[in-house]
Amino acid sequence: AAKETQILEKERKAKLQYEKQLEERQRKLKEMKQKEEQRRAAVEEKRKQKIEEEKERYEAVLHRTLERNQRLETRQKRWSWGGSVTPDSEGKAGKQHPSKRSPSAASLKQAEAAVSKRLSSSAALLNASDRTRRSQLSPLDSSVISRLLAPTQASLARSKSAATLSAD
């Protein structure tokens, strides 16, 4: 009977130890799941924050681009001599019969053609002489000179557009 109680006691102790081990495993698994959930939540939060930052950056770039375009438009309006040409004003001027136009309109057309011819020939002359000079320069000097010449070419284009607008 004493042996039997010892065996029962050992079985009971073994069962208790097995149950403790099971509980410990379950507790560890639960902790691991919680840690994994926290990690996932942190990663998700970081991802959302990154998306939000990218969205803000994109909006800032968009805002700066719109501001820059507005500044360019106002600068172009400031430099434009004839103002903006509306489709209505073009349509009315184009639909007039040639005999109903004022005599100055014909002379303006001729003057515009002469100015246009002079501008294109001087621009071609400038480009030809620039090419020969640039071939003798280093690439860095050449790029600097081409950047310095850009406003001159832009002013030629403005003059040409002003002549076209005044002719219309």
**Residue 87 within any structural domain of the chain:** no
Asked if 108 and 164 touch (Cβ cutoff 8 Å), the reply is no
**Residue 141: what pLDDT?**
72
Q: How many domains does the chain have?
A: 1
Q: Is residue 69 part of a domain?
A: yes
pLDDT of 89 higher than 80: no
CB atoms within 10 A of CB 163: 20
Domain that holds residue 72: 1-78
65 is a domain residue: yes
In a domain, 40, yes or no: yes
Cα–Cα distances in angstroms (integers) from residue 7 to residues 20, 38, 78, 146, in the given order: 20, 46, 105, 102
28, part of any domain: yes
Cα(17)–Cα(11) distance, rounded to whole angstroms?
A: 10
Rounded to an integer, what distance in angstroms lies between the CA atom of residue 166 and that of residue 60?
40
pLDDT per position as a tens digit, 28-85: 999 999 999 999 999 999 999 999 999 999 999 999 999 999 888 887 777 666 555 4
Specify if 12 maps to a domain: yes
User: 163, 112 in Cβ contact below 8 A?
Assistant: yes
Does the model's pTM come out above 0.85?
A: no
CA geometry: angle 33, 36, 37, nearest 5 deg: 85
Q: What is the pLDDT of residues 126-163, one digit of tens each?
A: 666 555 655 666 777 777 777 676 656 667 777 777 77
In a domain, 156, yes or no: no
* 125 within domain boundaries: no
pLDDT digits (tens, 9 = 90+) for 19-42: 999 999 999 999 999 999 999 999
**Structure tokens that stand for 96 in this block:** 């007039």
Residue 146 makes CB contacts below 8 A (sequence gap 6+) with 130, 134
